[in-house]
Amino acid sequence: MPITATILEVAGVDPDRLAIVGGDGQLTYSQLAEGSRTMFAAVDALHSAQTDPPSPAPETHGIPITAVSLTSAFETSRIIAGLAGFRAVSATIDPRWPLSHQVGVITTTGIGLVISDSTHLAEALAAAGWTGTVITAADFRAREAAIDPADTAPPSIREASEPFLMLFSSGTTSNPKAFIKTRQQYRDNVVVSSAHLEPFPGVATLAPGPVSYSLTLYAVIESLATGGSVHVADDFDPFTMGSRIADETITRVVAVPAVVKALAEAARRTPENFHGLDLVVTGGANLPASIRSALADVLPDTRLISYYGAAEIGFIGDSRDGDGTWISIYDTIGVEVRDDSDARLPDGEIGTVWIKAAACSDGYVTGTTGAQLRRPDGWATVGDQGRIENGLLQLAGRAGDIAITGGHKVSLPEIERAFEGFDRGDRHSGQGRLGEVCAIALPDDGLGSIVALVIEPASVPGGGVGTSGTPDKATLLDHARAKLAPQFVPRRFYVLDRLPRTVGGKIRRHEAVDLVMSGKAQRL
């Protein structure tokens, strides 16, 4: 069902039902519907006042683009949801991206209005010759308040083919690739998530983290499209989230694995705050088996679903037990694994994962990349690598996560998973324990590349790290040989005080390679 249809329906039959709740305030469905009138009027006036407006990307069909680049998850959710019932294309830009990336996507895609509190961004856009408008959140609120609702149009259900949102595939280590989601593509995605991830009417979902993350943004949209309430937070604070879950009667959480890990730790301290939590949905990164076990230990009645999806394509499948590496594909989704010549591979062989899904975007926005997303026959890929066995899909990472060593294809994430259960040390001193690990491929004249493992030492009491307590090379090799095929066993081991990460907490594999190659890591 269209998001606007649900908002209007709930506003009519249950006007006081909560729609969006955050640290900055809350909105009922009635307030969201009514407030959207003055919100769009303010946006429309700001676009119309421009004497030389930027030309929106051709994929928007001429609809002006409004971007929100705020740290407030509540304010971002309010604006995205409010504009959904009008002729508008919305985008969320992470204010923590490098400034050059923010300026690049705004100028390249023709965004005309940016709601941002960053003076640095406003100055950089002016210096780049951008002719759009930057307005702060407070000034935008003031403009909304100054408009008489009687002079505005109500929200309406839009045409299915109309562009709805512009999203980005990255922005932390490379120039972001932009793509458009039409309203029908989002509706198709909600159909899939409703069938498998349980965003049911009336369910209170906590979705902590920036709304610029596709995982959080999807949680906002699917909750409102199904008549639930979405509870947002700028980040996950383990000391306050437990009380929010209890006080706001939250039964469902959608979050990245790092947040699930923090949630399990918080539940161990105050389990009484989490007894009403029925379901945790996670995605966006591999879910280590240790996190699943930690959650099950402290909250045995809370279910955990780890889904696989891509922002460009939509929800694809999920895993509900074990180490989460084998994914059951949803019945409406097509999956094939192919080699570089586009030939379909037999079961068990690693290749590029191709997906056929109704929710898939048509392609990337002109000027942001030369990559092809979707072919004319409807099959699409984002470059994920994997294998199929017995009808289940196992991911091996992105193309950069596959190493060729001595003619063998080696999945670097598989090596990392083999060390998830490594714990032969003293929990109190940190001696002999591992923290996070990152498998990398280093150039080698004889084999093409060799596999190495970079280790971040485990934390020890007092908040420090125990580099000297890292297991020795012989112990690590013994573990690897017991868990992995010979070609997967790392030939070298390195230690870094801290592995490089994105703003979202994902380890940057390429930067880890650079640190090792530049001699900044300690070799064991």
User: Which has the closest alpha carbon to 172: 425, 510, 436, 521?
Assistant: 510
User: Which has the closest alpha carbon to 78: 54, 43, 103?
Assistant: 43
Task: Give the global pTM.
Answer: 0.84
Output the pLDDT for position 446.
Answer: 76
Output the pLDDT for position 323.
Answer: 65
How far is CA 482 from its chain centroid?
34
Confirm if 402 and 409 have CB atoms less than 8 A apart. Answer: yes
Report residue 281 as tokens: 């949905």
Question: Pairing mode, if any, of strands 133-135 and 492-495?
Answer: unpaired
Output the pLDDT for position 503.
Answer: 67
User: Which has the closest alpha carbon to 275: 249, 237, 257?
Assistant: 249
Output the pLDDT for position 339.
Answer: 92
- Cα pseudo-dihedral 423, 426, 430, 434, rounded to 10: -10
> Within 10 Å of residue 347's Cβ, how many Cβ atoms?
11
Angstrom distance (rounded) from CA 338 to CA 354: 7
Residue pLDDT tens, the chain, 524 long: 579 999 999 999 999 999 999 988 999 999 999 999 999 999 999 999 999 999 999 999 999 999 999 999 999 999 999 999 999 999 999 998 889 989 999 999 999 999 999 999 999 999 999 999 999 999 999 999 999 999 999 999 999 999 999 999 864 445 789 999 999 999 999 999 999 999 999 999 999 999 998 999 999 999 999 999 999 999 888 778 899 999 999 999 999 888 898 999 999 999 999 999 999 999 877 787 888 899 999 999 999 999 999 999 999 999 998 666 789 999 999 999 999 899 999 999 999 999 999 999 999 999 998 889 999 999 999 989 999 999 999 988 777 788 888 777 788 988 998 898 776 544 444 455 688 899 999 988 778 889 999 999 876 544 444 445 678 899 999 999 988 888 899 999 999 999 998 766 778 898 999 999 999 999 99
Helix axes 29-48, 73-83, angle to 10 degrees: 80
Output the pLDDT for position 198.
Answer: 97
Angstrom distance (rounded) from CA 488 to CA 477: 11
Helix or strand run (H / E) with residue 106: helix 99-109
Is the dihedral angle over the CA atoms 121, 124, 126, 132 positive or is it negative? Answer: negative
> Within 10 Å of residue 372's Cβ, how many Cβ atoms?
10
**183 — phi, psi (to 5°)?**
-65, -40
Report residue 160 as tokens: 């299915």
AA identity, residue 524: L
Question: Pairing mode, if any, of strands 229-233 and 89-92?
Answer: unpaired
Report residue 225 as tokens: 């499209």
Q: Classify residue 465 by its DSSP letter.
A: B
Angstrom distance (rounded) from CA 413 to CA 113: 40
Output the pLDDT for position 236.
Answer: 82
Residue with tokens 């324990």: 433
Output the pLDDT for position 172.
Answer: 43
Is the dihedral angle over the CA atoms 55, 57, 60, 64 positive or is it negative? Answer: negative
**252 — phi, psi (to 5°)?**
-140, 135
How far is CA 265 from its chain centroid?
22
- 316 Cβ contact partners less than 8 Å away, ≥ 6 residues apart: 307, 308, 309, 310, 327, 329, 330, 333, 335, 355, 357
Output the pLDDT for position 434.
Answer: 80
Angstrom distance (rounded) from CA 330 to CA 80: 28
Report residue 329 as tokens: 């594909």
User: Which has the closest alpha carbon to 352: 373, 333, 366?
Assistant: 373
Confirm if 390 and 328 have CB atoms less than 8 A apart. Answer: no
Output the pLDDT for position 287.
Answer: 80
